[in-house]
Amino acid sequence: MKHVKLGSQGLVVPSIGLGCMGMTPIAGGDIYGKADEKESIATIHRSLELGGNFLDTADLYGPLLNERLLAKAIKGNRDKYIIATKFGFEIDDNEQMTWRINGKKAYVKKAVERSLQNLGIDSIDLYYLHRLDKDTPIEETVEAMAELVKEGKVKYLGLSEVGSETIRKAHAVHPITALQTEYSLFERTVEEAGILATIQELGIGFIAYSPLGRGFLSGQIKSPDDFPEDDFRRNIPKYQGEQFQKNIRLLEEIEAIAAEKGITTAQLAIAWTIAKGAVPIPGTKKVKYIEQNIVATDIALSSDELQRLEAIIPLGTQTGDRYDSVSMTMVE
């Protein structure tokens, strides 16, 4: 497995990570279909065998159930893994979501202690603010996060789904190691908004979640009806009505390039993300898919192939919103 420097603060990670969100429900709802705990843990262990030891979770996932699952998976082998988790979606003392974002200093300290306990570890390798608390200055939140570094509870700091101005303000308080944002052939807002240029200037690494467009780039979804009845993707404008059909036509062109190379469309999408300088964290809970995803780290794309792919969906192409209207308000 190739490794890359993530940011400029010393963190080195594999060129691909494992997104663990789908391994547990969120607020009682399945994420990308039902999860099996035994298979999920086997997926984490197989990833490690192949060199994929960078795990991404969050207290939101469950809530809290995902971190507890990871604790079972890494028990006895903590030093072999790089653990990233996130906070910000407020969880009350009854372990229920309040559906508010909380970046206040007191909550930061409360959230980290809970995550450390749930993960069964003494220190979190990469700790992200999951979403910006618009009622709390980012400086206050990052100051509290920086204190966790001094205390040894956290090693490196990250932000998720924030804009350039917020990144600059945060980075001025304490060096930010990574920005995590949705990024794929179908979602390149982070490029269009100049956010990638900002983090490159500041020496901040880039983590791409949903590099497979929430499974769309796997090629297995041919109709909105292919989503399970209670699947949250049914509420995403990108995958509804006429927009879905437009996106399917674009996907077919991407599939043709994958077929030429003798690889899967998912592998092509991951290889593109890596070629763009990101560390993708495709989510899966099945051993066969982690094996396929890790193979993608060895796929080289020529400049001509990159140009052909990006010509299918040039910057500025309308592929639909990536969240429902409420969730979009949480993305800066």
**How much is the mean pLDDT over the chain?**
96
* 272-290 pLDDT per residue, tens: 999 999 999 999 999 999 9
From the list 243, 241, 244, the residue with the least C-alpha distance to 222 is 244
| pLDDT beyond 90 at 252 | yes
> What's the mean pLDDT in 66-79?
98
Residue 230's pLDDT is 79
Residue 52's pLDDT is 98
Strands (E), the chain: 3-6, 11-14, 18-19, 54-56, 82-87, 89-91, 97-101, 124-129, 154-160, 178-182, 205-209, 279-280
Mean pLDDT check: name the lowest of 51-65, 219-233, 278-292, 310-324: 219-233
* 281: phi then psi, degrees, rounded to nearest 5: -130, 65
pTM of full prediction above 0.75:
yes
- Confidence band, pLDDT 50/70/90 cuts, at residue 226: confident
From the list 246, 210, 214, 245, the residue with the least C-alpha distance to 227 is 214
- Confidence band, pLDDT 50/70/90 cuts, at residue 324: confident
Residue with tokens 């990101």: 278
Tell whether the torsion through CA atoms of 108, 111, 113 and 116 is positive or negative: negative
| pLDDT beyond 90 at 232 | no
Task: Give catalytic residue positions.
Answer: 61
Are the C-beta atoms of residues 85 and 129 closer than 8 Å to each other?
Answer: no
Query: From CA 196, how far away is CA 69, in angstroms rounded?
Result: 32
| pLDDT beyond 90 at 326 | no
Residue with tokens 């991407």: 254
- Confidence band, pLDDT 50/70/90 cuts, at residue 42: very high
Residue 325's pLDDT is 86
| pLDDT beyond 90 at 147 | yes
34 burial (CB, 10 Å; 0-12 / 13-18 / 19+) is exposed
Angle CA 8–206–13, to nearest 5: 65
Angle CA 31–33–38, to nearest 5: 95
> What's the mean pLDDT in 73-80?
98
From the list 246, 251, 249, 217, the residue with the least C-alpha distance to 233 is 217
Residue 69's pLDDT is 98
> What's the mean pLDDT in 21-36?
93
Q: Write out the DSSP string of 319-332.
A: ---SS-HHHHTT--
